[in-house]
């Protein structure tokens, strides 16, 4: 016999590599992780990022360079949402 509750949500945490802040979020256990549109978008961003080399003297500067390049690639691929 199973004890306890079988919750439909799981708590995940993500640590930001630049700021070091940890954020928690809940996700449905049965959530679909990748839609066809998301898969196409990820492939487009990967193609845009091919050959990219981060610049910067410190790890923080390199991380910032990567984030800026990813944001630009996502805009070129038509991110279709998110923050503006």
pTM comes to 0.55
Residue 82 lies in a domain: no
Please, are residues 33 and 12 in contact by the beta-carbon 8 Å criterion?
A: no
Regions of the chain where pLDDT drops below 70: 1-7, 30-33, 79-84
Residue 34 lies in a domain: yes
Residue 13 lies in a domain: yes
Q: What angle do CA 13, 68, 61 make, to 5 degrees?
A: 80
Range of the domain at 41: 9-76
d(CA 47, CA 84): 23
Domains in the chain, number: 1
Taking the CA of residue 43 as centre, how many other CA atoms within 13 Å lie in the half-sphere pointing to its CB? Answer: 7
Residue 36 lies in a domain: yes
Residue 71 lies in a domain: yes
């Amino acid at each position: 016999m199973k004890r306890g509750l079988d919750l439909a949500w799981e708590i995940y945490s993500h640590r930001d590599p630049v700021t070091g802040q940890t954020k928690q979020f809940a996700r449905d256990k049965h959530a679909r992780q990748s839609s066809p549109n998301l898969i196409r978008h990820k492939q487009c961003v990967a193609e845009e990022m091919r050959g990219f080399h981060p610049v910067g003297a410190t790890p923080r500067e390199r991380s910032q360079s990567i984030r800026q390049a990813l944001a630009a690639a996502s805009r070129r691929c038509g991110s279709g949402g998110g923050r503006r």
